Structure 1
Amino acid sequence: MTLTIRLIAFLALAFATGVVPASDIVERGRYLTLAGDCASCHTTRGGAPFSGGRVIGTPFGAIPAPNLTPDRDTGLGAWSADDFYRAMHNGKGHDDRSLYPVFPFTSYTKVTRADTDAIFAYLKSLPPVKRASIEPILRWPYSMRSLIASWRLLYFDEGEFVQDPKRSAAWNRGAYLAQGLGHCNECHANRNAFGAMVSEPYLAGGIIPVQNWYAPDLSMGPNGGLAGWSEADVVALLKTGRSAKGTAFGPMAEVVLQSTQHLTDDDLAAMATYLRSLPERDPPAQRESAANARDLARTGQKVYVEQCADCHGVDGHGKGDAYPPLDLNASVTEPTGINAIRMVLSGGFAPATRDNPRPYSMPPFSQKLSDDDAAAVVTYIRQAWSNKAASVSPNDVRAYKSTPGG
């Protein structure tokens, strides 16, 4: 009887702390790779899962993601759990060479040893795939790997996540996921000239290099990118790709498809709890509206009524679950206007998730609208209703078209 009570107590403690029995370590590792969205980078189109080959573009050149299957010659077959932990925690490879920070060890350093061991156990359980790594193609002097030592000294803070005893268990779990495995700041932050994240204020939004999307500020407080969102709205977006406040498009659609839709409701709620705690932001600087901007907005209103209002509503509130609202939409009001320009010209495609298997998509208008009309309608929706974002110009539209992501 005493042994049974002890066993029940052990199992209760194991599940409460996230430490599951050793027999379940592979399944736990599978779940953690989903939380880390590992397959997105380490699987090329048409390739075996985790076998590498997908090329990650950076402002400094192209870096292919390596093979994570347990092939001994080209993957992780010769790696130990210590090697894998060092890569995740310290950004050093099996040969002790510094890894390029396109691999987000700057965030993964917060992942616990128990979790890296579980991820490694799952990766070792995969079928081995022989796929040799491709050498990075980087411009000089960025091709000199020795320079990473200086970069690390300036911009890399090593250390596992430390729980805050003053916060709830949900907050700590959400912070651990967002700061560590979820590596949210890798997209939702500005970067300096050397590609390092500007972490203050945290998760304050920024342009995703090369992809040229703006990942919005994630504060739910006053003046934050998610001001007015509830925790339920955040959970809905991460789980289904849509919410009453907006829809996931662009890179975020892939994150929802490959990662967050597979997380438990408790983990999604924990992330929402953490985002709720981010500090309020300073009010955006008010810009005077030039006469040509006011003219653009008037023209844009006509374009909007003709092309957009049937779906998004004259009032900008959207229609049900199908068409997202544009009023107080973080992707519409973000500082640069890039997202709205991209959506108007190229359309938007929400992820097909388990709970939203047949999402509505937005058609492209690049063949229907001139650069002037595109700038006009984007300016209008960024300044109509409750929105108070800066105008965009036809030159902004042309600049977007000329960029690699455009």
Structure 2
Amino acid sequence: MIDRNFLIASLSGVLFLMFPIKAGAQDAQAVARGQYLARAADCVACHTNPADNRAFAGGYALQTPFGKLLTSNITQDIETGIGGWTEAEFSRAVREGIGRQGQHLYPAMPYPSYTKLTDADVHDLWLYMKTITPVKNRVVSNQLPFPFNIRAALIVWNLWNFRSGRYVDDTSKSKAWNRGAYLAEGLEHCNSCHTPKNLLGGDKSSQAYRGASLQGWYAPDITNSHTLGIGSWHKDDLKTYLKTGSVGPYVASGPMGEAIENSTQYLRDGDLEAIATYFSDIKGQEASLPASLPASDPRMHQGKAVYEMACAACHRSDGRGVSTMITGFPANRAILAPVKDSILHTILAGGRGAMTHENPTGAAMPSFSWSLSDEQIAAAATYIRNSWGNNASAVTPEEVKAMRRTLQFRQVGPVPDDWSLSGESKPDLSAHPAMHP
């Protein structure tokens, strides 16, 4: 059996090699703070291309509603990175969205959130970035089609969506609440995924954290709504989830799994407590939930057959999954969300749970796009969303087909829309007991 302390020490050693601290003794504490801030801001996740895994060297493709952007190289390479930048140029890019040559940065770089960062934090972050090993990697970030590739249009975007300024404490709130707000609204930029967007891709601030679709996933409502959000969670539940990647029936995967792996698992307990304090106070909107589909519904019959054949071995016949490893379905608000992107994305393309120091196992789920038809996937998702006390709207084959198209466009996993592409035969469920109640 592997000793847990040895495993954590080994992982810490790997992280140290990835994020080396090279500054002199006089700056060591500031650099260490900067390293912590870089993790809190999740810089490495976006600026590291998983194809070559060169930390901070850029080239990671961000799929926006307007086209593809490649993240920039922010290592200390002088020719292709930020090695020749001044601290003032770095600060302006991070907090104002203006590049070294005066060009407007696209808001896929979350400067509308980072503008809230204090001068001290930006200074420490800069000192840490100065320690990053140079990597020569020239990236052409702007891959957008016309007219979105015209950066001058961002002047209009900023007038409509961007307000420059540092975070100001709300004196009516506690110190912990304000720290949580600074982290959530600034460094962690939670709004980037969880807040609905307007037609220009800016935040709908009146609907903050009420859930949004992004890159083929649905970032769920994280307000204190009991019917749509995480209002039923205790603050300790959110702390555990952000630290370990799982709590109760919830196992983080997709973009949230990446955020936990690269960012939130490294936060200090006090900062996690502050974030939980903040979100427990974010007002949500309650909603009337649809009635659960009866077991006699034909879609439920077919869904049960598909579930027992393809899902029950891991998620169990009672839908409860495996604690800390495999998602459970009963009362899982992410599974029951009104927008079905995440459940369909995972069934079609597969996924993997977050891997953290506390939970290093990160179970993976295979893709079922090649073996299940749109109708079968729709039925299985409908069954999951309406069994074990769950009640949610049915999933249609048309919604599955639309998600296939989205994933094909993004080239995420094997998602053929025609059985002839897969080289496999449709599974025959006609003899399955659940098809003959």
What TM-score range do you get, normalising by the shorter chain?
0.7 to 0.9
Instruction: Tell me the amino acid that sits aligned with residue 36 of structure 1.
Output: A
Q: How many angstroms does 1:285 deviate by?
A: 6.6
**Rounded Cα–Cα distance in structure 1 between residues aligned with 2:54 and 2:290:** 50
| Partner residue of 1:86 out of 82, 92, 95 | 92
**Rounded Cα–Cα distance in structure 2 between residues aligned with 1:227 and 1:325:** 18
| Partner residue of 2:202 out of 180, 187, 196 | 196
The farther-off stretch of 152-161 and 344-353 is: 344-353
Contact kept? 1:221, 1:276, Cα under 8 Å: no
Q: How many angstroms does 1:22 deviate by?
A: 4.9
**Rounded Cα–Cα distance in structure 2 between residues aligned with 1:384 and 1:63:** 40
Instruction: Tell me the amino acid that sits aligned with residue 265 of structure 1.
Output: D
Q: TM-score, normalised by structure 1?
A: 0.88
Q: How many angstroms does 1:213 deviate by?
A: 0.5
Structure 1 residues 227, 369: closer, same or farther in 2, change over 3 A? farther
Q: How many angstroms does 1:57 deviate by?
A: 2.1
Q: How does 1:162-241 map to 2 (within 5 A)?
A: 162-208=168-214, 211-241=215-245
The farther-off stretch of 312-321 and 274-283 is: 312-321
- Find the counterpart in structure 1 of residue 46 from structure 2: 41
- Find the counterpart in structure 2 of residue 264 from structure 1: 268
The farther-off stretch of 346-355 and 312-321 is: 312-321
| Partner residue of 1:59 out of 49, 62, 65 | 65
Instruction: Tell me the amino acid that sits aligned with residue 59 of structure 2.
Output: G
- Find the counterpart in structure 1 of residue 343 from structure 2: 340
Q: SS at 1:190's partner residue? A: coil
The farther-off stretch of 160-169 and 179-188 is: 160-169
Q: TM-score, normalised by structure 2?
A: 0.82
Instruction: Tell me the amino acid that sits aligned with residue 113 of structure 2.
Output: S
- Find the counterpart in structure 2 of residue 244 from structure 1: 248
- Find the counterpart in structure 2 of residue 273 from structure 1: 277
Contact kept? 1:188, 1:215, Cα under 8 Å: yes
**Rounded Cα–Cα distance in structure 2 between residues aligned with 1:372 and 1:187:** 29
| Partner residue of 2:364 out of 355, 361, 364 | 361
Q: How many angstroms does 1:284 deviate by?
A: 4.6
Q: How many angstroms does 1:59 deviate by?
A: 2.3
Instruction: Tell me the amino acid that sits aligned with residue 92 of structure 2.
Output: R
**Rounded Cα–Cα distance in structure 2 between residues aligned with 1:293 and 1:115:** 59
Work out whether 1:69 is the aligned partner of 2:80.
no
- Cα deviations across residues 355-395 of structure 1 (Å, max 9, x unaligned)? 11113333333344322121111011112233222111111
Structure 1 residues 163, 67: closer, same or farther in 2, change over 3 A? same
The farther-off stretch of 155-164 and 304-313 is: 304-313
**Rounded Cα–Cα distance in structure 2 between residues aligned with 1:366 and 1:23:** 50
- Find the counterpart in structure 1 of residue 392 from structure 2: 389
- Find the counterpart in structure 1 of residue 156 from structure 2: 150
Q: SS at 2:85's partner residue? A: coil
- Cα deviations across residues 169-194 of structure 1 (Å, max 9, x unaligned)? 22111111111010111111222222
Gaps in structure 2 of 5+ consecutive residues: 1-25, 413-437
Contact kept? 2:229, 2:284, Cα under 8 Å: no
- Cα deviations across residues 266-319 of structure 1 (Å, max 9, x unaligned)? 212211111111113131574897x99942123213333444344434443334
The farther-off stretch of 35-44 and 49-58 is: 49-58
Structure 1 residues 163, 397: closer, same or farther in 2, change over 3 A? same
- Find the counterpart in structure 2 of residue 376 from structure 1: 379
- Find the counterpart in structure 1 of residue 127 from structure 2: 121
Work out whether 1:27 is the aligned partner of 2:32.
yes
**Rounded Cα–Cα distance in structure 2 between residues aligned with 1:67 and 1:344:** 33
**Rounded Cα–Cα distance in structure 2 between residues aligned with 1:25 and 1:162:** 23
Contact kept? 2:76, 2:82, Cα under 8 Å: yes
**Rounded Cα–Cα distance in structure 1 between residues aligned with 2:97 and 2:184:** 19
Work out whether 1:299 is the aligned partner of 2:302.
yes
The farther-off stretch of 83-92 and 358-367 is: 358-367
**Rounded Cα–Cα distance in structure 2 between residues aligned with 1:212 and 1:350:** 17
Instruction: Tell me the amino acid that sits aligned with residue 89 of structure 2.
Output: D
How many pairs were matched up? 383
Instruction: Tell me the amino acid that sits aligned with residue 38 of structure 1.
Output: C
Contact kept? 1:293, 1:379, Cα under 8 Å: no
The farther-off stretch of 311-320 and 161-170 is: 311-320
Q: How many angstroms does 1:401 deviate by?
A: 1.0
Gaps in structure 1 of 5+ consecutive residues: 1-20
The farther-off stretch of 374-383 and 320-329 is: 320-329
Aligned-residue identity in percent: 38
